[in-house]
A and B are shown apart, each in its own frame.
Chain A
Amino acid sequence: MAARRRPEDLLPLKPLHFLLLLSLVDGYRHPYGLKKDVEARGDRTTPIGPGTLYRAMEQLVDADLIQESGRRPAPDRDDERRHYFRLTPFGRAVVAAEATRLAGLVKIARSKRLVEGPV
């Protein structure tokens, strides 16, 4: 059995992975909804290709950061073909760790007056 992993072992996360995990913090989503979320945040200038998205999600599943969700929307809003995903507890820990790491970097940038805001 592999040694117990710590969230810090997976840092830094690739930007797309981080954004996907961030979108799942609020609850379960299906892949297309995730894609729209990430694109809407304006972090990407070009749409995410389906192959790229699928590969990223496969990697997140492989790393045990997300899994298929047992919960589904109300029947009148549901489409039984769709698969929904949610964060695993470990995934939640990893995305929190990455956010903390990034916050630390922003703090340094603020101290150098590169970014506005309280130091």
Chain B
Amino acid sequence: MTPRPSRPIGVASRLCALAIACYPRDPDRARDLRELCDDELEDARRRRGARGVIGSALRMSANLVASAAIARVRDTNRGRHAPSQRTHMVDSIGHELRQAVRSLRRVPGFTATAIVVLGLALGVNVAVFSVANALLWRPLTSVAPDRVVRLYLTVSGAPTPRLSWLDYDDYRQHHEAFADLAAVNLAQVVVDDGVRVDQGLAETVTGNYFRTLGIRTSIGRLLDDRDEHADVVVLSHRVWAERFNADPGAIGRTIRVAGRPMTIAGVAPPSFTGTFVAAPIALWMPLRDEVLPRGWRTDRERSVFQVIGRLAPGLSRVQAAARLDVIARGLEHANGPMANGVGAAIVPGTLLHGPQRRPVETIFALVVALASLVLLIASVNLANLTVSRATARRRDVAVRLALGAGRLRIVRQMFIEGLAVAIPAAVLGCLIAVWILPALVAIRAIPTLRFAIDLSPDVRVVGFVLMTTAVAAAIVGGLPAVPLMRAASQGVLKDTATALISGAPRNRLQTALVVAQLAASIVLLITASLIGRSFLRALDADLGFDPSRTVAVDLQVPATRYDAQSGARLLDRVVAAAHQLPGVVAVSLATRAPVDISTRAVEILVPGYESHQDRAFRTATYYAIGDEYFDLIRLPLVGGRAFTPADRDGSALVAIVNETFAHRFWPGQNPIGRAFVVSPDRSKPEERVTVVGVARDSKYVSVGEDPQPHVYLAARQHYSAGTALLVRTSAEDRRLPDSVQRLLRSIDPDLQGFFPRTLEQHVAVSLLPRRILAGLAGSLAALASLLALVGLYAVTASVVAQRTRELALRLALGAAPADLRRLILVYALRLCAWGTAIGLAASFAGTRVLSAFLFRLSPTDPVSFVAVPISLAATALAACYVPARRAMNLDPTIALREG
């Protein structure tokens, strides 16, 4: 039996296969090439391990793509030209490539710099694009991905990604729209394999889930329709490798999941990580009451499922949407008034979907724009350096034009020279991307939660690499061609002396390019400064409460064994027991730890505002909290009282509101004693609550939010099986999370605290996007500025070298060395000033776009707009000091003699 190839070889082999696909269709050739590649990869693996495999794969792919291009030209010309001409054309391109490589070999320093600089810029772009691709565009499955879609409900036109079981059941009967329709829910579970007990995430799915996605098993078997009532699970490849050492003997073993014994039926393929973006899924299991909310099968308001479907054969998305409309209307009739205004919609089957998509798209649009700017700067930088080198080419080009060589031919040659740098730079860039990507996605929001993102390259990433390489080649090769062509066509075979005084065209181009780079750097630096300052402001933002010395865990009361009464008693016991832990000063339940992105909103009806047009007057965020909540997080009450044990199930319903709420609905009046209607749970009737207290404003969803109305309800009066437990101690206690877990297990062995974290870490989660963005923007800006300054240095040094005779003349005629130094520095500063002016103008115009990302900071923040240009000018002066000194220290006699 042939051993299964290791993962690096698998990926590398796929990369080579992609490159082979660039050849014109020829199964024999494809097979032969594939064989060659596989042999080489196996050899590389034996000799150099995984690194060698990747290096080999990239090298071979580049070679294959270039050869494929030549093969295409040859195959196309085979019909039109006689054999001798065919070989001539092919040989010509090959010849030009070889010439370009030879000419680059002659200047190893420049070539190495060029490849490194461009490689860095390309690497950053590839990394950013890979992450964007993995999050935004990667489909749920690679098997006919365009046929897989997500089903949304639309309620009064507003789309919602979550359906109840009854809704799902309604639609799955209808085969005219879908060949298959599967439901999936994300659950936190406890997994006990007899040796270790761990928390993890699981997808609970209908039997047809894997079939709908077209996933084929790696080991054992996957879930299918007969498993809807069976106790079997499918492990993720990661868990199988980590916990069972990738032992095929794990199939058939029994583990306990959410307290229930389940048999391991199989292992999913390594590339499949579920349908919830970035969630590290441990296993897939059938729908079980243990992990689903009470009443999920019968309550139409329990919208806990995401629904994924494969379109019926031959049906386009538009046709399917039309059929869905018909189905929805039919259901309206069948299900009565509750289904009024409820329709259905189809959304492309990507990992990231729904309301989560927009913010991620916006962030990535910004990051990709910044990264592209860096690439532009790097390419222009290189083009500039090439222009300096190209002086000798002018004569050569002029002669060739005079002898009748087509302009197109010369342009093609310059493009090929650009390719000769861009292709190795692209290879280096891919290696850099492969190196930094794991670090990027290893960022952990909280210690126990890591992201699972599939970053393997697919067609889109390869296409992006090819496109950026071509663009870089065009700039690096094409830009220097401009002055060459113009000068050459003017019949230039001029003396260098004339060029010196008149300021040759190539100098103007170089100057313009440097100014452009500096301007782009200014834009990047100002952007990074704004984002960075905004992040620091958000870090310091007044939360309104004190998150220190507090631990939060998420509790899940097992729904199969506890109803509302017994569950509430259980939670009381937990709170009482937590108080007994050493050092604990306060304990409270809360439906969410404060500042949580999943904080729910609730419909409110305040007398006098019931029919207010603005939705902001009919909803508020809410938590259901325990008595000690405000003491625990040190959030002061500015009026009335906190909840007490008297506020329990059966007694008058009470609420505490925040200042914004009180001010919005009862401005200038005392809110204590006022009543309003609230409906926290759509499956229960609305409730009339009375305000007993007013709390200071705080943050509820994210640190950067504006003040918004918020309601606190009494946890005793609003039981929830899923709630957070907050425990505050008098001093920092690292062992507190473990103590809490032991305590929970001692009360009920199946009770676990999920995602234990400090409240500070919890609050930091909402700052994570800002933190990442600030880091990325800062790094890109630093890289870009470095490139621009190197460019400025190079141009200044080049100017000094070119003007040596003139400077020496000045010295000989009595100028002071300090004058020369000032001349050069002023030249550099002038370039800087132009770059700054253009950059500032562009920033003024452009940073408005950033307002969405900024926290309490104006997009035209004066500090950024002043500090950045000054710093850049200072650094530019430092960078140009060396050429300036060289000018100063010229020996006139030597310089004039050498002239």
Q: Is the CB of A50 within 8 A of B71?
A: no
**Among residues 41 to 79 in chain B, which have CB atoms less than 8 Å away from a CB atom of chain A?**
56, 59-60, 62-68, 70-71
Expressed in whole angstroms, the Cα–Cα distance for A32 and B32 within the complex equals: 10
Chain B residues with CB under 8 A of A53? 36
B-side binding surface: helix, strand, loop or mixed? helix
Task: Determine whether A113 belongs to the interface, using a CB cutoff of 8 Å to chain B.
Answer: no
Task: Determine whether B637 belongs to the interface, using a CB cutoff of 8 Å to chain A.
Answer: no
Q: A47-B59, A49-B64, A50-B64 are in contact. Are A55 and B71 (CB under 8 A)?
A: yes
Q: Is the CB of A54 within 8 A of B29?
A: yes
Task: Determine whether B35 belongs to the interface, using a CB cutoff of 8 Å to chain A.
Answer: yes
Q: Is the CB of B60 within 8 A of A50?
A: yes
Instruction: Indicate which residue in A54, A81, A82 contacts B67 across the interface (CB closer than 8 Å).
Output: A54
Expressed in whole angstroms, the Cα–Cα distance for A116 and B547 within the complex equals: 83
Instruction: Indicate which residue in A49, A55, A81, A82 contacts B60 across the interface (CB closer than 8 Å).
Output: A49
Q: Is the CB of A51 within 8 A of B32?
A: no
Expressed in whole angstroms, the Cα–Cα distance for A8 and B317 within the complex equals: 65
Task: Determine whether A7 belongs to the interface, using a CB cutoff of 8 Å to chain B.
Answer: no
Q: A32-B39, A32-B40 are in contact. Are A49 and B32 (CB under 8 A)?
A: no
Chain B residues with CB under 8 A of A54? 29, 32-33, 36, 67
Chain B residues with CB under 8 A of A82? 35
Instruction: Indicate which residue in A50, A55, A81, A83 contacts B40 across the interface (CB closer than 8 Å).
Output: A50
Task: Determine whether A17 belongs to the interface, using a CB cutoff of 8 Å to chain B.
Answer: no
Q: Which residue of chain B has its CB nearest to the CB of A33?
A: B39
Expressed in whole angstroms, the Cα–Cα distance for A49 and B64 within the complex equals: 7
Chain A residues with CB under 8 A of B691? none
- Give the Cβ gap from A12 to chain B, nearest Cβ, in Å: 14
Chain B residues with CB under 8 A of A35? 36, 40
Task: Determine whether B472 belongs to the interface, using a CB cutoff of 8 Å to chain A.
Answer: no
Total chain A interface residues with beta-carbon distance under 8 A: 14
Chain A residues with CB under 8 A of B787? none
Task: Determine whether B522 belongs to the interface, using a CB cutoff of 8 Å to chain A.
Answer: no
Chain A residues with CB under 8 A of B66? 51
**Among residues 83 to 101 in chain A, which have CB atoms less than 8 Å away from a CB atom of chain B?**
83
Task: Determine whether B727 belongs to the interface, using a CB cutoff of 8 Å to chain A.
Answer: no
Expressed in whole angstroms, the Cα–Cα distance for A32 and B62 within the complex equals: 18
Q: Which residue of chain A has its CB nearest to the CB of B39?
A: A32
Chain A residues with CB under 8 A of B35? 31-32, 81-82
Chain B residues with CB under 8 A of A55? 67, 70-71
Q: Which residue of chain B has its CB nearest to the CB of A62?
A: B83
Expressed in whole angstroms, the Cα–Cα distance for A49 and B403 within the complex equals: 36
Total chain B interface residues with beta-carbon distance under 8 A: 21
Q: Mark A28-50, 1 if CB is under 8 A from B, else 0.
A: 00011001000000000001011
* Residue with the greatest number of chain B CB neighbours at <10 A, chosen from A50, A55, A81, A82: A50
Expressed in whole angstroms, the Cα–Cα distance for A77 and B71 within the complex equals: 33
Q: Is the CB of B70 within 8 A of A50?
A: no
Q: How many A-B residue pairs have CB under 8 A?
A: 50
Instruction: Indicate which residue in B33, B39, B56 contacts A51 across the interface (CB closer than 8 Å).
Output: B33
A-side binding surface: helix, strand, loop or mixed? helix
- Give the Cβ gap from B686 to chain A, nearest Cβ, in Å: 71
Q: Which residue of chain A has its CB nearest to the CB of B22?
A: A51
Q: A82-B35, A83-B32 are in contact. Are A51 and B63 (CB under 8 A)?
A: yes
Q: Which residue of chain A has its CB nearest to the CB of B44?
A: A47
**Among residues 5 to 41 in chain B, which have CB atoms less than 8 Å away from a CB atom of chain A?**
16, 29, 32-33, 35-37, 39-40
Expressed in whole angstroms, the Cα–Cα distance for A52 and B66 within the complex equals: 9
Instruction: Indicate which residue in A31, A49, A81 contacts B59 across the interface (CB closer than 8 Å).
Output: A49
Q: Which residue of chain A has its CB nearest to the CB of B64?
A: A51
Q: Is the CB of A32 within 8 A of B59?
A: no
Chain A residues with CB under 8 A of B40? 32, 35, 47, 50
Q: Is the CB of B32 within 8 A of A31?
A: yes
Expressed in whole angstroms, the Cα–Cα distance for A52 and B64 within the complex equals: 8
Q: Which residue of chain B has its CB nearest to the CB of A81?
A: B35
Q: Is the CB of B36 within 8 A of A32?
A: yes
Q: Mark A53-77, 1 if CB is under 8 A from B, else 0.
A: 1110000000000000000000000
Chain A residues with CB under 8 A of B37? 50
Q: Mark A14-34, 1 if CB is under 8 A from B, else 0.
A: 000000000000000001100
- Give the Cβ gap from A112 to chain B, nearest Cβ, in Å: 26
Expressed in whole angstroms, the Cα–Cα distance for A50 and B65 within the complex equals: 10
Expressed in whole angstroms, the Cα–Cα distance for A11 and B802 within the complex equals: 47
Chain A residues with CB under 8 A of B56? 47
Instruction: Indicate which residue in A32, A52, A81, A83 contacts B63 across the interface (CB closer than 8 Å).
Output: A52
- Give the Cβ gap from B74 to chain A, nearest Cβ, in Å: 9
Q: Which residue of chain B has its CB nearest to the CB of A49?
A: B63
Expressed in whole angstroms, the Cα–Cα distance for A35 and B32 within the complex equals: 13
- Give the Cβ gap from A55 to chain B, nearest Cβ, in Å: 6
Expressed in whole angstroms, the Cα–Cα distance for A55 and B91 within the complex equals: 12
Q: Which residue of chain B has its CB nearest to the CB of A82?
A: B35
Q: A32-B35, A35-B36, A81-B35 are in contact. Are A51 and B59 (CB under 8 A)?
A: no
Expressed in whole angstroms, the Cα–Cα distance for A70 and B243 within the complex equals: 51
Chain B residues with CB under 8 A of A47? 40, 56, 59
List A residues at the B interface (Cβ < 8 Å).
31-32, 35, 47, 49-55, 81-83
Contacts A51-B64, A54-B67 supplied; 14 other A-B pairs, CB < 8 Å: A32-B35, A47-B40, A47-B59, A49-B62, A49-B67, A50-B16, A50-B60, A50-B63, A51-B33, A51-B60, A52-B67, A54-B29, A82-B35, A83-B32
Jot down 20 A-B pairs with beta carbons below 8 A, ordered by A. A31-B32, A35-B36, A35-B40, A47-B40, A47-B59, A49-B60, A49-B62, A49-B63, A49-B64, A49-B67, A50-B36, A50-B37, A50-B63, A50-B67, A51-B64, A51-B66, A51-B67, A55-B71, A82-B35, A83-B32
Q: Which 8 residue pairs are nearest across A and B when measured between Cβ atoms?
A: A49-B63, A51-B67, A50-B36, A32-B39, A51-B64, A51-B63, A50-B60, A50-B33
